[in-house]
Amino acid sequence: MERRTIFPGWGLPVLLVMPQLALTAVFFLWPAGQAIWSSMTRADPFGIRTTFVGLENFADLFSDPLYLDSAGRTVVFCAAVSAISLLLALALATAADREIRGRALYRFMLIWPYAVAPAISAVLWILLLHPQIGLVGHWLNRIGIVWDYKLNGTQAMLMVILASAWKQISYNFIFLLAGLQSIPKSIVEAARLDGAKGFFRFRTIILPLLMPTVFFLVIVNLVYAAFETFPTVLALTQGGPGKATETLVVKVYRDGVINLDVGSSSAQSVVLMAAVIVLTAVQFRFLGKRGGE
């Protein structure tokens, strides 16, 4: 889409885009280019000389069982976080879409958690599930269920999934409720008169109309789970015990910032960039379609 009415001259507009272009070039394009370059180099053990090694870092990466484990773990983690937060948000949005008393208050009470920082959601879940100080965690151990996410990898994974999914419910709720409200009441009413009831009506009439929103949210949730949960994981488990909760972003951070393995860390960054590009492309293809409706 283009605008027909425009101002003449091009000195002013160039000046206007300059600030953003300059920041983008310096803080996005240059580092991204460097990541691609250093993903194809390797430093000697003393860090004095770097040599060009082509795609060797990538070959190493994809034959490294630790990396593949981390990738598999990230997939499970992202799928679980997205599924849990979307399903809970869908149940809440469906209920909040009804004409019930106090719904403005309910909505308000479900929207404010959008403001909670991922790192602080970690603190909240420590208070609930920490084996010694956590309200529920301490109680579990007292009644004889061994609960310690600091030692048990499965429990650690469960813990980071819960804390990450919890934080994302509000965001999904806002979008799903808006999606539900945009479904014409006449359609729902017609289905009701035809005798379509409860869950059947939801599955056959409402859900298909809500699918564009759901699909958009799936992508957003996957990206959230893959990248923005870094503080949650770091505050809860630091990626441990062992490597039980080491997602790909935690691994990039650990290999690059802590172990200073620039070649491998850059190769991992490039792989992640490729993943984001694919997800963004899918999302925009779909958004373009919806915009055209």
Say how many residues touch other proteins, by CB under 8 A.
97
Pick the closer one to other proteins by CB: 24 or 51: 24
Phi-psi region of 89 (alpha: psi -120 to 50; beta: other; left: phi over 0): alpha
Which positions from 184 through 243 interact with other proteins, judged by CB under 8 A?
216, 220, 223, 227-228, 230-231, 234-235
Q: In the bound complex, what is the minimum distance in angstroms from residue 184's beta carbon to other proteins?
A: 16
- x/- string (CB under 8 A) for other proteins, residues 1-40? x-xxxxx-xx-xxx-xx-xxx-xxxxxxxxxxxxx--x--
Q: Which of 43, 37, 39 lies closest to 56, judged by CA?
A: 39
Q: Quote the least distance from Cβ 77 to other proteins, whole Å.
A: 14
Question: What residues between 35 and 54 interact with other proteins by CB under 8 A?
Answer: 35, 38
- Binds other proteins (CB under 8 A): choice among 47, 49, 65, 98: 98
**Residue ranges in 248-267 that form contacts with other proteins under rule CB under 8 A:** 249, 252-253, 256-257, 262, 265-266
Q: Which of residues 118-157 bind other proteins (CB under 8 A)?
A: 118-120, 122-128, 132-135, 138
Distance, CA of 33 to CA of 259 (rounded, Å)? 22
> Is residue 83 at the binding interface for other proteins, with CB under 8 A as the rule?
no
Taking alpha carbons only, the member of 206, 216, 181 closest to residue 286 is 216
Residue in 55, 87, 114, 242 binding other proteins, rule: CB under 8 A: 114
Among 116, 151, 191, 209, interactor with other proteins by CB under 8 A: 116
The DSSP bridge partners found for residue 271 are none
Residues 6+ apart with CB under 8 A from 88: 165, 169
Alpha carbon of 130 to those of 134, 140, 150: distances in Å?
A: 4, 10, 9
Helix (H) or strand (E) holding 52: strand 50-52
In the complex, minimum distance from the CB of residue 196 to other proteins, in angstroms, rounded to a whole number: 17
Q: Which C-beta is closer to other proteins: that of 138 or that of 201?
A: 138
Name the residue nearer to other proteins (CB basis): 25 or 68: 25
CA atoms of 165 and 88, how far apart (whole Å): 9
**CB closer to other proteins, 76 vs 109:** 109
State in angstroms the smallest separation of the CB of 74 from other proteins.
12
Long-range interactions of 282-288: CB distance < 8 A, separation 24+: 282/219, 283/216, 283/219, 283/220, 286/212, 286/215, 286/216, 286/219, 287/216
CB of 73 to other proteins, least distance (A): 16
- Cα–Cα distance, 163 to 214 (Å, whole number): 21
Distance from C-alpha of 70 to C-alpha of 53, rounded to nearest angstrom: 24
The single residue among 151, 174, 183, 196 that binds other proteins, judged by CB under 8 A, is 174
| Min separation Cβ 177 and other proteins, Å | 8
Min dist. Cβ of residue 23 to other proteins (A):
4
Between strands 41-43 and 50-52, the pairing is antiparallel
Q: How far is the CB of 79 from other proteins (least distance, A)?
A: 19
